[in-house]
Structure 1
Amino acid sequence: MTAHRPFTSQPVQLVEPVPTAIPTARPTAAVAPPRSIDELELIRRAQLPPSKGWRRWLYRLSFGSANPGQSPAELEYEQLLRRVRQPVRGNYKIAVLSMKGGVGKTTTTIGLGSTFAALRGDRVIAYDANPDFGTLVYRIHRDSDRTVRDLLADKEVHSYSDVRSYTSQARSRLEVLASERDPSVSEAFNERDYTAALRILEQFYNIILTDCGTGLMNSAMAGVLKEADALVLVSSAAKDGARSAGATLEWLSRHGFDDLVKRTVVVINESRKGSTALDVEQLKSYFAERTRAVQVVPYDDHLAEGDTIDLELLGKPAQRAFVELAALLADDFPANVGRHVPAPGPSPW
């Protein structure tokens, strides 16, 4: 007898088979290439010891075992020095000028040139192009009585040592080529003479500073402006000096030297001791709108002597000001692509 399945009211549920997942290949992670030996920090770099402040005392009291490193101010100064020491391709020519006498033009030339020479390893020379008895050579210890006229008269100049016999050298290593001492001869110093001497100096010096006369209309000045890569325009911290400096910029712009004006660094020379009624910050703002940069050189007893200048005898503020000035000029070194050529136009000379 056959057994019957009992009757139920529940519907029969059909169970679907569970699909089997098909294994897929995992994406292969990118394998970084092995590092080179230069990428490994194998050496624990030593810090330079501090030179002043509590960091210096800690370093000395611990006999060098505790070295907190240089202070932010020291690191900032190191960066300033790196700017001054930027390489220069070929040579770089800086004209230092002012329309008004007695504002510190020659002092600025020696201070700036000495700073470049002391902090860099290449050759730096200051060239006196003042046709009216220039005094540049008297601001260093003179060791040669020869002048630019003697250099031009020598047709056998073929090496640096040949030129060196016509220059004087300061303790900073700055060399100076003196102008003619005879006023009747120096008045005849013209654009052709200036350019001829410059062609000689370009072969042996990396930075060439020209200490210009106070006038803009002499023939030598025509050569100076045509050859300059940058200008340093010196003004006193007085209204009449600032007015003369502003007039110089206007004259340069009117006579096709706009590009040179844009590459001008104005130096405001505080030649008087103590505070002044002049608002130097407003003066800085005035020149900053018209030129590339402005640098203030504070009053310094050693500079005020009007005699030979030794960087080591300057006070810290003046030393720092000249380093900052040198850094401003060196910032333009990479853009040095050749001599300045004025825009076409009638010659003012």
Structure 2
Amino acid sequence: MIIDDIKDTRENIGRLISLEDDLEVVAEANDAEKGIELAKKVQPDIILMDINLPGMDGLKATEVLSRELPESSVIIISVQEEHYYMQQAISAGAREFLMKPFSRDELVKAIRRVSSIEQKQLSETIPKVRKRTGEVITVFSGKGGVGKTTITVNLAVALARLTGEEVVVLDLDLQFGDVSLMMGLPTDVTITDLAREIDKISGDDLENYLLTHRSGVKVLAAPVRPEEAELIKRNHVSKIIHLLRQKYQYVLIDTEPTLHEINLVALDFSDKIILVSLLELAAIKNIRLSLQIMEKLNYSKEKILLILNRSNSKHGPGLKDFKITLNFPIKLKIPGDEKIAVRAMNTGEPFVLSNPGSSISKSIFELAYLVEPEAKGNNRGGLFRTMKQLFGK
């Protein structure tokens, strides 16, 4: 099915498709509303959707179709190549993004690629019902050494234990990522291997590229060597996050302390951003700049959770100065415990497992409740009782 407001475009696409014996245009529409109504009637396998439509645009229409007609796959077509539109298309539920003008070969390959993936997923999931899209949570800071990775790995384990849902950690610190190290996992396979095959895989193929921690948390490890970071492009990351959120209820992303294009992809996808700071001038300065940039990017304040790590530090500015400088609410204060944190890092055992009763572990569980408030409602016996039940301590 073709949804495009320009008649000549519809006719040209139809002509290209007619040259393939096993492909057929079953319907056409010149706006989104008519297209959605018609799609529900004919239920096409694939919908070619122009991004710029009168009235409801192609992105909104794709969201509606992904929700109301999940059996039909959408390929967005556009004259705009900017990363923003590609990311928005994937986020809306599109399976492919095709640039105009495209050749017959490019069009047919895109259709067959999407059709092949959908058929594979359909055969693997019937009679299962599609679950809702997972939640993407990115842990970020404008400064290194603030404890981002420590928070990420412990939060992942806490969420898995509290909710019973599937959790995956994506290590996007592409040059010096330590998620696998801090979880005691060998880096037999990394994001580099996945990026090389990203156009050929479906959601269930992801298992071949993930490491499994004993807690059940999955990890997509950072490259082994720093120079491999150059092989990971923004379109790889967009597709990887899209696939992960289709399969896992919680996708936690650890990041580098920079706002380069790879991190911006992750932040754009995020349902929640955990912004980590310390009571240090450099950290506060960079967090303030990060908040200003996020405001310019139109990120809602509600999705940003400002976390003060090592909040019991006796050095640096006081808490009052911190609040005045940032003028942004602190959602949680995590106390520092160097002995426990360093031992956990060196042994590859997250401290929510090795020391669940410690103050630092309790704070991580409180962070998990901020991310998933329903978990707290399911554990009314209190945090210490919850940890005793979960870990037998």
TM class, shorter-length: 0.5 to 0.7
Shift of 1:331: 3.5
CA contact (8 A) 1:123 1:207 kept: yes
1:96 matches 2:136: no
Name the structure 2 match of 1:290: 328
Secondary structure at the aligned position of 1:187 is classed as helix
Aligned residue pair count: 239
Is 1:299 paired with 2:339?
Answer: no
CA-to-partner distance for each residue in 1:271-290, whole Å, 9 max, x for gaps?
88x64454235535765x53
Partners of 1:97 and 1:233 within 8 A in 2:
yes
Which residue of the partner structure matches residue 267 of structure 2?
225
Matched, 1:177 2:214: no
The reply to whether residue 317 of structure 1 matches residue 355 of structure 2 is no
Pick the aligned partner of 1:244 from 286, 306, 310. 286
**Structure 1 CA distance, aligned partners of 2:284 and 2:354?**
28
Larger radius of gyration: 1
Partner of 2:298: 257
C-alpha deviations, 1:95-139, integer Å up to 9, x for none? Answer: 111111111111111121111012121100110112323122111
TM-superposed deviation, 1:211: 0.6
Given that residues 128 and 212 in structure 1 are in contact (C-alpha distance below 8 angstroms), is that contact kept between their aligned partners in structure 2? yes
Deviation digits for residues 325-344 of structure 1, max 9, x if unmatched? 111121499xxxxxxxxxxx
Q: Is the 8 A contact 1:303 1:309 kept in 2?
A: no
Q: What's the offset of the Cα at 1:189?
A: 1.9
Q: Distance in 1 between matches of 2:371 and 2:217?
A: 17
Greater Cα shift, 190-199 or 278-287: 278-287
1:267 maps to 2:310: no
Q: 1:331 to 1:284 in 2, by over 3 A?
A: farther
Q: Distance in 2 between matches of 1:245 and 1:196?
A: 28
Q: Distance in 2 between matches of 1:294 and 1:147?
A: 33
Q: Secondary structure at the match of 1:258?
A: coil
Q: Identify which of structures 1 and 2 has the higher relative contact order when contacts are C-alpha pairs closer than 8 Å and 6+ apart.
A: 1
The Cα shift of 1:159 comes to 5.7
d(CA) in 1 for partners of 2:187, 2:156: 18
* Aligned-pair identity (%): 23
Match of 1:65 in 2: none
Residue 168 (structure 1) aligned with residue 206 (structure 2): no
Note if 1:213 corresponds to 2:250.
no
Inter-partner Cα distance in structure 2 for 1:201 and 1:212: 16
In structure 2, the CA distance between the partners of 1:257 and 1:304, relative to structure 1 (3 Å rule), is farther
The amino acid across from 1:245 in the alignment is I
Deviation at 1:206, TM superposition (A): 0.5
Task: Please give the root-mean-square deviation of Cα atoms over the aligned residues, in Å.
Answer: 2.6
Distance 1:176 1:191 in 2: 19
Q: 1:197 to 1:247 in 2, by over 3 A?
A: same
Contact 1:112 / 1:322 at 8 angstroms: preserved in 2?
yes
Q: Equivalent residue of 1:253, what SS? A: helix
Which structure 2 residue ranges, 5 or more long, are not aligned?
1-130, 376-393
Residues 158/247 of structure 1: CA separation in 2 closer, same or farther (3 Å cut): closer
Q: Is the 8 A contact 1:129 1:213 kept in 2?
A: yes
Q: Does structure 2 retain, via aligned residues, the 8 Å contact 1:104–1:271?
A: no
Structure 2 distance, partners of 1:189, 1:227, is 17
SS in 2 for 1:199: helix
Give secondary structure in 2 for the equivalent of 1:295. Answer: strand
Name the structure where helix makes up a greater proportion of residues: 2
Q: CA deviation at 1:150?
A: 1.4
SS at structure 2 position matched to 1:231: strand
Indicate whether 1:123 and 2:166 are aligned.
yes
Partner SS, residue 196 of structure 1: helix
Q: SS in structure 1 opposite 2:169?
A: strand
Aligned to 1:347: none
Q: Distance between the aligned counterparts of 2:178 and 2:155, measured in 1? A: 16
Supply the AA of the counterpart residue of 2:149. Answer: T
TM-score by length of structure 2 reads: 0.55
SS, match of residue 90 in structure 1: coil
Q: State whether residues 272 and 303 of structure 2, in contact with CA within 8 Å, keep that contact through their aligned partners in structure 1.
A: yes
Rounded Cα–Cα distance in structure 1 between residues aligned with 2:236 and 2:332: 32
Corresponding position: 1:280 with 2:322: no
Within 2, Cα distance between the matches of 1:199 and 1:193?
A: 10
